[in-house]
Amino acid sequence: MAESLINTSNSSDLNYDTNSLTGSTPSSSVSDNVTHDTDDNSEGKINVPFSLKSVESLLSLSKTATQEDLNEMIEKCKQMILDSQECTDERKWLVRRLIELRLRAQELRESSDVNLFETQVILGHHLVPHKYQIPSTGPLYCDHCSGTIWMMLQSWYMCNDCGFSCHWKCITDIRRVCAHVLASEAGGYIFTKEICPEKGLSAQGYKCAECHTRLTFTALKGLSLPCFGSPFKQPESAWVEPRLCDYTGLYYCQRCHWNTMAVIPARVIRNWDMEPKRVSRLAAQLLQLLNERPVLLLEQLNPKLFELVPDLSLIKKLREELQMMKKYLVFCPEADIQRLPWRIGLRTHMIENSGNYSIKDLVDFHNGVLMDEIRGAYDLMREHITESCELCRARGHLCEICGNNEVIYPWDPSAILCQQCNAVHHRACWSKRNHCCPKCARIEKRRSTNNDQNKEDYIDS
């Protein structure tokens, strides 16, 4: 098996994806090992077998190696594979090193091309080049061809705005418009009212909504199930299963739809349903991008939700009270030193307004995280104003109606804030006075006396 691997994959026709190695021999144990062991993209992860310690430097992946050095090492490595025992760690390591050497050689040829190291602006993406990078996350796949991106061995691009990633060789063919552009144009989500607005495959002409590949329901040419090099790869002329995107309601091919799971805004807003559903790559990027942005005016989008989920009204009330407390803190030098209210780690928009939510807020609210966060911030801010800070305490109110010397604050349950003049009274006193604010009455009286005075002056002159 190793022989066929070596002979069929000449370094000149080596494809970027591993399918050229695994596609033709899906049952081969060697190529299976190649796929799985190398999927983590890290050349350092397999330990060098003891017997090959001395060989390692002969087949070095040094960045200073020239094209000639690499060709020589490839030949040497091929010979060593042929000389090694089947199914041993030695062979496994050598096969892997062969792939790495070939990728490095191809990379070297390509890097002499122009434009490789400049940010490319294509379809709204800002594609920043990357090269020989040690992967900090799991394997990365190309958003165009869905093959593996070998981060340590290849040049590749990633969009700064939406995370779209692709091989260097795929950049000229990409079709997907940047999700950041779509989100900006729409001012947030496009579908918040309709749940999975499906139109049907016939309306799409039985083609993928993004790349227009023909979608089929049955396997062609007697091929049973497709075998993928990467989890999303679709083989040529085989069965192209239509995949429904729960966000857009459109059908996609496997290249444009990787069965990524995401929470669907319309399901949350309509049905209070946080269950993640399968979405296309475009939708996944868009939903990820907007996940923490407070673009949903929840009460406006679905007022009935506040009856269904009573705690939503409680959160709204707490947020309104946080805004009142913020007015104290922003004028307090002591709070400024303590970096209140920002230090407490509460998401900023919770204190800025009382109606905007992000999808993450709603998911966190559903699992209790948001309520804890808000209550923690609330207690801390109130403690500063009403107990620990003399400056803030001095800005408390006295009820003018009863003249009692108890200090009250607008968020106290026993107090009420006059919406016209911002005076604070006892709720009970306010009711006794038939909701008449003495301060407002005083202001009104002064205004009418002034008007009378002005009239008299006018007549006199």
Task: Kindly list the residues in this chain that would bind Zn ion in the complex (CB under 5 A).
Answer: 125, 142, 144-145, 159, 161-162, 164, 167, 170, 178, 208, 210-211, 213, 253, 255-256, 332, 334-335, 389, 391-392, 399, 401-402, 418, 420-421, 423, 426, 429, 437, 439-440
* Rg of the chain (C-alpha set): 33
Q: Is the dihedral of CA 409, 414, 419, 421 positive or negative?
A: negative
Nearest-angstrom CA–CA distance, 105 and 413: 73
Comparing CB distances to Zn ion, the nearer of 165 and 302 is: 165
Comparing CB distances to Zn ion, the nearer of 305 and 440 is: 440
Nearest-angstrom CA–CA distance, 420 and 441: 11
Do residues 253 and 243 touch, judged by C-beta distance below 8 A? yes
Nearest-angstrom CA–CA distance, 58 and 53: 10
Comparing CB distances to Zn ion, the nearer of 90 and 246 is: 246
Comparing CB distances to Zn ion, the nearer of 140 and 263 is: 140
Phi, psi torsion values for 248, nearest 5 degrees: -90, -20
Nearest-angstrom CA–CA distance, 29 and 371: 52
Classify residue 297 as exposed, middle or buried by CB count within 10 Å of its CB (0-12, 13-18, 19+): middle
User: Rounded to the nearest whole angstrom, what is the least distance from the CB of residue 148 to Zn ion in the complex?
Assistant: 9
Comparing CB distances to Zn ion, the nearer of 48 and 128 is: 128
Nearest-angstrom CA–CA distance, 394 and 397: 8
Strand-pairing partners, residue 397, are 408
In single-letter form, the type of residue at position 61 comes to L
Look up residue 345 and give its two tokens: 């780690």
Classify residue 382 as exposed, middle or buried by CB count within 10 Å of its CB (0-12, 13-18, 19+): middle
Do residues 335 and 392 touch, judged by C-beta distance below 8 A? yes
Comparing CB distances to Zn ion, the nearer of 65 and 140 is: 140
Comparing CB distances to Zn ion, the nearer of 97 and 167 is: 167
User: Rounded to the nearest whole angstrom, what is the least distance from the CB of residue 197 to Zn ion in the complex?
Assistant: 19
Comparing CB distances to Zn ion, the nearer of 79 and 431 is: 431
Look up residue 367 and give its two tokens: 């699992």
A 10 A CB-CB count for 314 gives 12
Comparing CB distances to Zn ion, the nearer of 102 and 144 is: 144
A 10 A CB-CB count for 201 gives 16
Nearest-angstrom CA–CA distance, 215 and 280: 15
First to last CA, the chain: 112
Look up residue 293 and give its two tokens: 């942005």
User: Rounded to the nearest whole angstrom, what is the least distance from the CB of residue 420 to Zn ion in the complex?
Assistant: 5
Comparing CB distances to Zn ion, the nearer of 167 and 349 is: 167
Nearest-angstrom CA–CA distance, 35 and 18: 7
